[in-house]
Amino acid sequence: MRLAYTLLLVGVTAVWGWTFVVVQDAIAAYGVLGFLALRFTLASGAMAPFVARRAGLGTLLVGGGIGVVLAAGYLLQTLGLLYTTPTNSGLITGLFVVFAPLAARALFGELLSRRVMLAVGLSLLGMVLLAGQSPSGVRVGDALTLGCAAALGAHIALLSRYAREHDAGALAFAQMLSMAALFWAMWPLFEPVFAPPPGVWPAIALTGLVASAGAFWVQTAVQQRISAARAAVILTMEPVFAALFGYWLAGDRLNPVQLAGAALILSALVVGEVLPALRRGKKG
């Protein structure tokens, strides 16, 4: 059964890596805000029958506030895909594991370890090498995606602070509902509102049902049954899958300098998340 749970979580990271290419293709034919509004409407609608009854007013308020931060992350990531490659987007998004302790320090005064500072240095150097060899248009997308990673890091820090006080499923539902409401409010202000073309609906269904609602349920169920160390190792495969799908489906190619930058970013993820989780697993 442990192998089955591991394969399920690997499947989740593979889907997340695949969606970088899927989303880029979708927003090339449809607006960013419209896509996100429909994605999270579908995700929250799919979760509602199972968890809405457990979402009290306090959970809705806390989850709604945290959802605003998460919405900023998804908005920056999706906008970034207009100007960068799925490979770059996946690698840079993975830096949220480095930004999470930085956000915890800024928001709640938590101390930073030498390991975190080393991971920050590796990731920054990797960013310089990855983006510095790209066309000027791609650098804009890389900067937006770096903002996404910072927002996702803040989201992790907020969840770590407040999640214990609420039902996990209800809190996730509140976040998705908050994101759907926010993107619907922004949509008519910045983009024309119209139904997506038929070719975009599969991407909305994949990201809303599978990559959002479905992936959450799988991740929650699996992490109740395997160690945190094993889960951390598996989840850091997401940027690797993003690079693989970017190479296979989008024709992304990195030159030697960019490959070195990608390697440094992945090493920052290992230093920042995988090694500490493995140590905790051994102690446990």
Rounded Cα distance between 283 and 186, Å, is 48
174 or 232: which leads in pLDDT: 174
Mean pLDDT across the stretch 173-186? Answer: 95
Indicate the pTM of the whole model: 0.83
For residue 150, CA distances in Å to 135, 156, 172, 222 come to 23, 10, 19, 26
Residue type, 272: G
103 or 127, which is more confident: 103
Query: How distant, in Å, are the alpha carbons of 41, 129, 162, 226 from that of 255?
Result: 39, 10, 42, 38
What is the C-alpha to C-alpha distance for residues 250 and 268, in angstroms, rounded to an integer?
25
pLDDT in tens, 253-262: 877 887 888 8
